[in-house]
Amino acid sequence: MAFPFFTCGGMFYWIDRYGYAGWRIQESMWTKRFRLLDPFNIRRGSGSFELCYDTMQYYLRTWEVAPVPKKAAVIIHGLFQRPANYEKMARVLSKNYEPIIFSYPTLRFDLMKSARALNAFLDKRQDVAQFCFVVYGMGGLILRQAIEMNPQWLEKIGRSVFLGVPNHGYGWAEKWKGKWWYKLLLGKAGENILPATAEKLFPMHGEFGVIMGGKDDAKGILPWFKQDNDGILTVESAKQDGAKEEYLALGKTHFALHRDDKLLNMTLSFLNTGRFGRGQRVRKEQSYTSLWES
């Protein structure tokens, strides 16, 4: 066992290799060593994968951690984020699912590497009966790339919710990709989010819903996009063919979607029932009040 040490939970240099009940085993992309983090991002072990796994089992027994649900809700974050950004979402999803946050080196892995890491991560959880997904930003592109590889876990896929996912890429990325600072700032992720890359990805598998931000006024949060947008992503770029339901959250910015109480409850509702709410299919936020009061 290692001396307990507070960490940031991994963001740029760590790859999640196993997760259970909020515990995570991560691998350093530089040293290839593993570490064990508890649900509070405190390092509890380090060394080989086997050593970290055995240490985790010791803590699970000693702390008498309750068995987790057989259904899991896998959260895949976007750019410049870390698992701690999704603790609120995890608490909401834990009402019916085991929340599993998958973390990857956001700026140093291309879509193929991230997808392979996701597939290996999920394939290790043979005890899970069903995998549902809540994906944000580039996390949605990683999921679609992973599905294209036809992984073992795919036969257990449930419903999914896409939050502000650039299903058709970020238009501004195409404009700025030739600038010297673009690759410096975004690294390999700069290629991942280009429209040309996103358009080639495999269509989503299974039932899924799409939530996006905007103002429904053809101007959006930032008028110079010249179409409805959430300040980062246009509504048209977030839409995806085959979605069972779509929801436009009026006035919500891109970086607020995964923290909004109302949207989180709608996400949980979709994973449970395949609907964002009762009544008719949700189109715009104006219908939200009447929807839940009906």
Res 20: pLDDT: 96
Res 231: pLDDT: 94
Residues linked to residue 43 through DSSP beta bridges, in sequence order: 5, 37
Long-range contacts of 88-93 (CB under 8 A, 24+ apart): 88/259, 88/264, 89/134, 89/258, 89/259, 89/264, 89/267, 90/22, 92/264, 92/265, 92/267, 92/268, 93/134, 93/267, 93/268, 93/271
Res 283: pLDDT: 52
Encode pLDDT of 265-294 as tens digits.
999 999 999 999 854 344 544 443 333 333
Encode pLDDT of 45-68 as tens digits.
999 999 999 999 999 999 999 999
For the chain, the average pLDDT equals: 89
Q: What is the pTM of this model?
A: 0.90
Encode pLDDT of 214-225 as tens digits.
999 889 999 989
Encode pLDDT of 63-92 as tens digits.
999 999 999 999 999 888 888 889 999 999
Read off the pLDDT of each residue in 242-248 and give the average, rounded to a whole number.
94
Structural domains of the chain sorted by starting position, each given as residue range(s) with its CATH number in brackets = 1-67 (no CATH), 70-293 (3.40.50.1820)
Encode pLDDT of 116-150 as tens digits.
999 999 999 999 999 999 999 999 999 999 999 99
Question: What confidence tier does 106 reach under pLDDT thresholds 50, 70, 90?
Answer: confident
Task: Please check the confidence at residue 9 and state whether its pLDDT lies above 70.
Answer: no
